[in-house]
Amino acid sequence: MQQAAPEITLTAQPDDPLPIGKAALLGLQHVLAMDVYIVPFIIASVLAFSVGDAGAFIQSAFVAAGVATLIQSQLLMRLPVVQGPSFVPIGAVLAIAFGAGGGIGGLSAVIGALIPGAILVMLLGSPTGIFHRLVNRFVPPIVGGAIIIVVGVALMPVALKESVFAVHGSATVGGNIILAFVAALFLVGCMLTGMAMGAKGAWLRLLSVIIALVAGCVAAAFMGQLDMSAVSAATWFSMPRIAFLNLDVTFSFSAMLTMLIVYIVVLAETTGTWFAVGAVIDKPLSDEQLDRGATGEGLGCLISALLCSTPVTGYSSNAGIIAITGIASRAAFAAAGIFLVLFGLVGKLSAVIASIPGPVIGGVFGVLCVVIAMNGFRVVRGTPLTERNMLVIGLPILMALFATLAPPDFVKTLPDLVQYILG
C-alpha cells in the first residue's frame, strides 16, 4: 500500500528500544484500553457456566491474548499490534456449544471446531504464500484506505451503543454519558496539551489513556458507579484450563466447517487492523509481513483454542493509542503481552480491569475510533476522487453502518453465514 507523507509525529519507531519502565507504562495503557474480558464474559453468561468455570474461561482469554500478542509483535509479523478475543465468533461458539449440550461440556465441541481452522489459517501464510496474493489481488491501496476508515467508523456506534448507552444496574443513560464525556475530555485534553508543550509534554501523551481511565473511574466513584468488590473476591493465582488435559475435545465436521467460515471473517477483520497500524506508522505492509501475519494469526488462534479460549484478532483501538502517544515501539507491545498473561494468571489483576465501568472505556474508545478513521482518510486523500472512487470509498462506509445499526431482531432471522459477515 502506498501511503501519504507522515503527519503523525512518532517519537519511537517499531524497532526502537524503550526503557523498561516506559515500556511497562505504555504496555499497561494498551491493555487497559482493551475489553478482553467482554467476549468470554458474554459466552460464559449465555452458556450458564458456574462461577469457577466462568473465571477459568476469562483467565484463558487473557493468557491467550498475551501469548498471541507476543507471537505477532515480537516473532512473526513484528508489527506493533495487540491481540484479543474477536467478537465475530460469538454466535458460532454459542450455536456449537448448545448443539453439543450446552454448559462447559459444550465447550469441548467448540475447541474441536477451532483447532483445524486455526491450522488452515497458519498454512495460508508463510508456508504457502497464498495470503499476500489474495490481499494484493483484492485489496489495492484505495480499498486498504477504505478498510481503515470502515474500521474506525463502524466501531464508533459500537463504542456508544454497547458501552455508553447500554444501562446496567443502577446506572442511567445520562450518568453514562457524563462518565464517557469525562474520560474523553481528559484524553483529548492530555493529547492537545501534550502536543502544545512539545517535548516537555511527551509524558502527557505517554500517559493520556491511563489518565483518562483514572479520571473516569474517580468520577464513577463519586456517582456510586464504581464497584470494586470483584477484586477482593478474586483469587490471587490460578491456572487456566488446557485442552486435552483439563477438558475433553470432540470433533464435528459441520462445526469445523462453520468455524472455518468464521476464521475467514476474523482474518479479514485483523487485516483491517494491520492496515490501520501501517497507516499510523506510515510503513506499507510487505508481502512477507502479510504472510507471516496470517501464520501468526493462525498460531495465536491455535494456542487460544488449546487454552480453551476463542479466536483472537488484532485490536484496532491500539492503533489509535499509537497515534495519540507517538510511540510505536514493539517493546511496549511486548510489555502489553506480558501484562495480559499476568492478568490471566493473577485473578485480582484481571478483576481490576473488569471493574472499570463500561462508559469510561466507551469514552476513551470513541476517541480512538476517531483517530483510526481519520488515518484512513489520510491514506485515501491522495487518490483522485472520481465518481468510481467515491463509490469505492463511500459504499463500504454505508455497508459498515448498515451492519452495525441493523436491528438485532432482524439480524437473528438471517442465515448464520450472513450473520457472521455482518459481524
pLDDT for the residue numbered 65: 94
| 3-state DSSP assignment of residue 423 | coil
Q: Please, which pLDDT band fits residue 2 given cuts at 50, 70 and 90?
A: very low
Q: Please, which pLDDT band fits residue 294 given cuts at 50, 70 and 90?
A: very high
Averaged pLDDT, 59-75 = 93
Q: Distance between CA 266 and CA 40 in Å, rounded?
A: 16
Q: Average pLDDT over the chain, rounded to whole? A: 81
Other CB atoms closer than 10 Å to residue 127's CB: what's the count?
12
> CA angle, corner 309, sides to 303 and 310, nearest 5?
95
- The per-residue pLDDT for range 165-222, each reduced to its tens digit, is 777 767 777 888 888 888 888 888 887 887 777 667 666 766 777 788 888 888 888 8
Using alpha carbons, list the distances in angstroms from residue 154 to 140, 174, 311, 342.
21, 23, 21, 31
Write the burial class of residue 418 (CB in 10 Å: 0-12 exposed, 13-18 middle, 19+ buried).
exposed
Q: Distance between CA 190 and CA 324 in Å, rounded?
A: 9
- The per-residue pLDDT for range 41-53, each reduced to its tens digit, is 767 766 767 666 7
**pTM (predicted TM-score):** 0.72
Cβ pair 146, 395 in contact under 8 A: no
> 257-279: buried (b, 16+ CB within 10 Å) or exposed (e) per residue?
ebbbebbbbbbebbbbbbbbbbb
